[in-house]
A = this chain, B = another copy of it.
Amino acid sequence: MTVSYTKKVSDCKGFGSYWRLLFRWRGSLYKLVWPDTIVYIVLYFICSMVYRFGLNELQRRIFEQLSLYCDYFRNLIPISFVLGFYVSVVVERWWEQYLSIPWPDDFALLCTTYIRGPGERAKSIRATLIRYVNLTCVLTFSAISPGVKKKFPSYKEMLEAGYLTPQEQRALEIQAGRTSVTLCCLPLMWCCKLLEGSRTLGDLRDDMGLRLLVEEVCKLRDKAGMLIRWTDISIPLVYTQVVTMACYSFFFFSVLGRQFLDPAQHYNNRTIDFFVPIFTLLQFFFYMGWLKVAESLVNPFGEDDDDFELETILERHMKMTYLLGDVTPNEDPLATCDDLA
């Protein structure tokens, strides 16, 4: 579920509002980083214990040399730089993926405008068209999101939720046996046929309306297709590996390199022994947190705290399209234009 805090930070008065965000748990840095942190601390203290109690004088001198060496050289890899570039690619893709989610409200508005007429037929055509569009959304979302898949594991659940009729289910099942391509967009074809049919019968008021509706169907297909392709084409694995390897090896070597050494040896910047490596942990939090930003955004359709809630969006689409598509009951403030005269 997306963590929405924008309203909490609408003002920047007094001490501002960002510091308050530090005390949240859902979707937070702490929640993402704690398992790694614990492993890191355990490793660090094992190492520390060995150095302090397990080694003789000579071994300690060698350990110290090793530690200084690790500390010096792990800095040769500019992880802040590569993380900066990598995270901005990830954040950009994350947002573009959000924009790729199909939003059928306009389709519903166009149905309301163009498919009118006396009797119930126009209304049931509108309802069917809107259902087809929502069906495409369900099929697409369940192909990319484990959460939606869990809710709608098969056509049966969609039937129960009112996205499908039994005939449609049969049509989808038969087709699934015939072809290997995804059937997400098949309902949009039915949609197009129904539009053409209703134009022929005169329920769709003019050619312009047919065109607008068909274009809207194409836009929805583009978005649905794009959503699936986002999941197919990941950020090149090499890039992700380079960043991950840099980050993990940096901290792997810091277990040795950031040990507190005997102040009596007067190594540079090693004049105090705090026992608890506050700054190293801070650095760990910082860089690991930055990497976790990437990790939690790279697939925003999962079940992380910060992923898009496709289930909620599906429900909203259903309700909103029926509302704007003039299918559910609602009062009109004006019966006809003549009221205005």
Which residues of B have CB within 8 Å of A215?
212
| A5→B171 contact, CB < 8 A | no
- A150 within 8 A of partner (CB): no
Which residues of B have CB within 8 Å of A170?
331, 333
A interface majority secondary structure = helix
> Could you say which of B185, B245, B304, B341 contacts A22, with CB atoms under 8 Å apart?
B245
| B337→A198 contact, CB < 8 A | yes
**Can you list, as one digit per residue, whether each of A18-37 has a CB less than 8 Å from chain B (1) or not (0)?**
11011010111100100110
**Can you list, as one digit per residue, whether each of A219-239 has a CB less than 8 Å from chain B (1) or not (0)?**
001100100011111101111
Which residues of B have CB within 8 Å of A246?
286
Q: A87-B85, A120-B341, A207-B208 are in contact. Are A233 and B11 (CB under 8 A)?
A: no
Q: Which of A317-338 contact B (CB under 8 A)?
A: 319-320, 323-324, 326, 328-334, 336-338
Which residues of B have CB within 8 Å of A124?
340-341
- A153 within 8 A of partner (CB): no
- A249 within 8 A of partner (CB): yes
Which residues of B have CB within 8 Å of A295?
9, 12, 16-18
A9, A18, A28, A236 interface centre (most CB from chain B within 10 Å): A236
**Which of A41-49, A51-59, A107-115 lies on the face that meets chain B?**
A107-115
Q: Which of A166-199 contact B (CB under 8 A)?
A: 167-168, 170-171, 174-175, 178-181, 185-186, 188-190, 192-198
